Every structure is written in structure tokens, then in C-alpha cells.
């Protein structure tokens, strides 16, 4: 298919989005604070015998690893695209967010297991050291949350780090409450009970983060954007005869891309139609990078329509429309169908072969005579 690609009037461009230096700095500062206090909380948990402190320390260990991974992803995300990775390394940020979610699930299961063990065999807990460390952890987590919520807080990695910090904050609140109750009543089962409540609160956030990051990794359409909506919107533009083979996905958090085929009503105005489609995608759907192929009338099935390779021949049959891969059978005035052109070519080929065979027989008859 002969087609043209539109890239907003320039050709030498990078597909890799810019990584915010502010996000990178926030993650690094948070990493230093979390990693430093994690050591303090581990010591406090071992000394006091508090599961709430140890659980929060384990969560902080997960936070430190997740923040370190996010920081590395930010650094790699700044690398320019190359011949092998034409979209750059920005997708690593989404991978880091997915790993963050998995680590949250791991720490939840660990807390629940330890809480069950504490219910079976209650531990002696020193309320004084536990309270001091818990209050210090509460203050550190509040500081980290304040840092992460400055500026861009919607980035997938910032959201992941923020969820970790909120989980730590809840753990610190639970530890403070447990320490106070133990100090005044001596009722130690409150420690594992509060740990379980914290784990359940973290579970919902972890699930949402995993769904969001996995959706991007599976090339899902961005929130609020669909192939059907794009097809309807662009099909109503002046000069557009049809829209098909629409695919839209997210490269990373907040960066949507799309590819599609557009058939112009007047082929002489193909460039103007292409520019209008790009403007509509950017202004109405927030898609600032789209590959728009001009469809000159050739028919074909979308290879992604049903997940199978379309290597078979087509003999005048119709395919049902697929979301993002529908067919537009408007060929324009005087333009033959692809199957008609194929049949005509075969007929012409057979006619030529018949003519050559007749000439060959006549030549043989002349030589015999």
C-alpha cells in the first residue's frame, strides 16, 4: 500500500518523552530518607519485639528497592532512542511501576503470615522503644509524602512511590497506636491486629497500581480514549471518506500514541486531510504523536483483528468490522475493487498465455508443412 506518514511537519524526531528532572530529584531524596530510616526501624523492631515496626521496616525495604528501581528507570528514560529501541527507554518507568505493585503484594502476604505467627505465640513487646521509633517513622513518612506530592504527582512511578509512602505512614500510625495501648493495658495482640489492618489498606492501592501499569504494558488504550471514539470523531472531519486500522496505546504514563489509515474523499487533498487528522488527534484526544497512513483504496484485513496471521487468499468474502480494524469499502469513483484488479490481472495473464500458445502452434504447423 502506498501511503504517507504524518509527524507534525518534521521527520527527525525522537519518540522518547522527556523525563522530568524534578521527578528524578524527588525520587532520589525520598530514597535516601527511606533507606536511612529503614535501618533505624529494623533495629527498633528487633529491640522492642514489635511486629508492627518490623512490618513497617519490611515495607520500607520494599520502598527503598522500588524507589531505587524508579530512579534507575528515570535515568535510563533520559537516554535517546537508538536503532534497536526506537521508542527509547521510557517504558522502563512502567515496568518499575509494575514491580512496585508486585512488591507491595509480597509485603502484604509477609505481614499477614507474621501476624498469624504472633497470634499463635504472643511476643513480649517493649512499649517505650516501640513508641519512640514509631513516632520518628511517622515524621519521616510525612516528609516523604510532602516531597512526592510537590509538582507532578500523577506520573506512574511517583504514584507508586507515593503509595508506598502512604502504606508506611499507615504502618507508623498503627505502630504508634499499638505502642500506646500496650503501654497502658499490656494487651500485646493489638500489635499483629493493627499490622493486618495496615496490610488490608495497602492491598487496594497495590491492586490499582498493578492494573494501571499492566494495562500500559499490554498496549491498552489510554483512559478516556478508544478506537471507536477516534474512528467516529475523525470520520466526521471534512474531506475524510473513511478511517480504519486504528490502534491507540500508551508508551508510558501520560504519553499516548496512535496509528491509523485515512481515506480522503479527494486524493488531491490528501496532505490537508492528513494534517487535519493529526490536529484533531492532538486537540481532542491528547495524542501528540500519530502515524497517519493515507489509504489509496487498497483493501486488506488488519493483522491484529483476530490475533491470527492473514496469509490466506481472499475470494470476495467480507470480514465483520473489528474495533480499530474496520474496513471502509468506499473506493471512490472509478476505482476498481482490489479483488477485481486481481481477477483482471489473472484474465489478462491467461489471455497472453493463450495468444503465445496459438502462435507457437502456427509456427509448428508452418515448419511441418
Weakest mean pLDDT among 196-210, 269-283, 294-308, 329-343: 329-343
Surface-to-core class of residue 356, CB atoms within 10 Å of its CB (0-12 exposed, 13-18 middle, 19+ buried) = exposed
Say if CB 90 and CB 216 are below 8 A apart: no
pLDDT single digits (tens) 167-178: 778 778 878 888
- The dotted CATH code for 220-335 is 3.30.70.1350
Weakest mean pLDDT among 32-36, 118-122, 316-320: 316-320
Read off the pLDDT band of 264 (50, 70, 90). very high
In this predicted structure, what is the pLDDT of residue 128?
A: 92
In this predicted structure, what is the pLDDT of residue 250?
A: 86
* pLDDT, the chain, mean: 75
Read off the pLDDT band of 306 (50, 70, 90). low
In this predicted structure, what is the pLDDT of residue 88?
A: 72
**Is the four-CA dihedral 166, 172, 174, 177 of positive or negative sign?**
negative
Q: What are the domain boundaries of the chain?
A: 21-217, 220-335
Instruction: Looking at 49-90, list the stretches that DSSP marks H as alpha helix, in order from N- to C-terminal side.
Output: 51-77
Q: What is the mean pLDDT of residues 358-365?
A: 47
pTM equals 0.63
Q: In terms of pLDDT, which residue wins out, 260 or 56?
A: 260
Instruction: Say yes or no to pLDDT of 131 above 90.
Output: yes
In this predicted structure, what is the pLDDT of residue 151?
A: 61
pLDDT single digits (tens) 100-111: 788 889 888 888
Q: What is the mean pLDDT of residues 50-55?
A: 81
Instruction: Say yes or no to pLDDT of 142 above 90.
Output: yes
Most confident of 46-55, 232-241, 343-352: 232-241
In this predicted structure, what is the pLDDT of residue 1?
A: 43
Q: What is the mean pLDDT of residues 184-209?
A: 84
In this predicted structure, what is the pLDDT of residue 348?
A: 43
**Nearest-angstrom CA–CA distance, 94 and 103:** 14
Q: Which of the listed CATH numbers 1.20.1510.10, 3.40.50.2020, 1.10.3720.10, 3.30.70.920 matches domain 21-217?
A: 1.20.1510.10
In this predicted structure, what is the pLDDT of residue 329?
A: 38
In this predicted structure, what is the pLDDT of residue 123?
A: 78
Instruction: Say yes or no to pLDDT of 330 above 60.
Output: no
Say if CB 137 and CB 37 are below 8 A apart: yes
Surface-to-core class of residue 363, CB atoms within 10 Å of its CB (0-12 exposed, 13-18 middle, 19+ buried) = exposed
In this predicted structure, what is the pLDDT of residue 104?
A: 82
pLDDT single digits (tens) 212-254: 889 989 988 888 888 889 999 999 999 998 898 899 988 877 7
For residues 288-300, one letter each, b for 16 or more C-beta atoms within 10 angstroms of the residue's C-beta and e for the rest, the string is ebbbbbbbbbebe
275 is written with which cell numbers? Answer: 494534517
88 is written with which cell numbers? Answer: 527509547
Read off the pLDDT band of 325 (50, 70, 90). low
Instruction: Say yes or no to pLDDT of 83 above 80.
Output: no
Name the one residue in this structure whose C-alpha cell is 513516632.
Answer: 135
pLDDT single digits (tens) 30-44: 899 999 999 998 899
Weakest mean pLDDT among 72-86, 130-144, 219-233, 271-285: 72-86
Q: What is the mean pLDDT of residues 103-130?
A: 86
Amino acid at each position: 500500500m502506498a501511503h504517507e506518514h504524518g509527524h507534525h511537519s518534521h521527520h527527525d524526531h525522537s519518540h522518547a518523552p522527556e523525563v522530568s528532572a524534578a521527578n528524578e530529584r524527588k525520587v532520589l531524596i525520598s530514597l535516601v530518607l527511606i533507606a536511612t530510616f529503614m535501618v533505624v526501624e529494623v533495629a527498633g523492631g528487633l529491640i522492642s519485639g514489635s511486629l508492627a515496626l518490623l512490618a513497617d521496616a519490611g515495607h520500607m525495604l520494599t520502598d527503598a528497592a522500588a524507589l531505587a528501581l524508579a530512579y534507575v528507570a528515570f535515568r535510563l528514560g533520559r537516554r535517546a532512542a537508538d536503532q534497536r529501541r526506537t521508542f527509547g527507554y521510557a517504558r522502563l518507568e512502567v515496568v518499575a511501576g509494575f514491580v512496585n505493585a508486585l512488591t507491595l503484594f509480597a509485603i502484604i502476604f509477609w505481614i499477614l503470615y507474621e501476624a498469624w505467627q504472633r497470634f499463635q505465640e504472643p511476643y513480649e513487646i517493649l512499649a517505650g522503644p516501640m513508641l519512640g521509633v514509631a513516632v520518628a517513622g511517622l515524621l519521616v513518612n510525612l516528609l516523604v509524602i510532602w516531597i512526592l506530592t510537590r509538582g507532578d504527582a500523577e506520573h506512574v512511578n511517583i504514584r507508586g512511590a507515593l503509595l508506598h509512602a502512604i502504606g508506611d505512614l499507615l504502618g507508623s500510625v498503627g505502630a504508634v497506636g499499638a505502642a500506646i495501648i500496650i503501654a497502658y493495658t499490656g494487651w500485646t495482640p493489638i500489635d499483629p491486629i493493627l499490622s493486618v489492618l495496615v496490610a488490608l489498606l495497602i492491598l487496594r492501592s497495590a491492586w490499582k497500581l498493578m492494573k494501571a501499569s499492566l494495562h500500559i504494558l499490554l498496549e491498552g488504550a489510554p483512559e478516556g480514549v478508544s478506537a471507536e471514539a477516534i474512528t467516529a470523531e475523525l470520520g466526521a472531519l471534512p474531506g475524510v471518506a473513511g478511517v480504519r486500522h486504528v490502534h491507540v496505546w500508551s508508551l508510558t504514563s501520560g504519553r499516548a500514541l496512535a496509528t491509523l489509515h485515512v481515506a480522503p474523499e479527494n486524493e488531491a487533498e490528501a496532505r490537508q486531510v492528513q494534517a487535519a487528522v493529526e490536529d484533531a488527534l492532538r486537540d481532542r484526544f491528547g495524542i501528540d504523536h500519530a502515524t497517519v497512513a493515507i489509504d489509496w483504496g487498497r483493501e486488506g484485513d488488519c493483522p491484529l483483528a483476530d490475533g491470527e496471521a492473514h496469509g490466506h487468499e481472499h475470494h470476495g468474502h467480507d470480514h465483520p468490522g473489528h474495533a480499530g480494524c474496520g474496513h471502509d469499502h468506499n473506493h471512490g469513483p472509478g476505482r476498481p475493487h482490489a479483488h477485481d484488479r486481481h481477477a483482471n490481472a489473472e484474465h489478462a495473464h491467461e489471455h497472453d498465455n493463450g495468444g503465445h500458445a496459438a502462435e507457437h502452434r502456427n509456427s509448428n504447423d508452418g515448419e511441418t508443412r
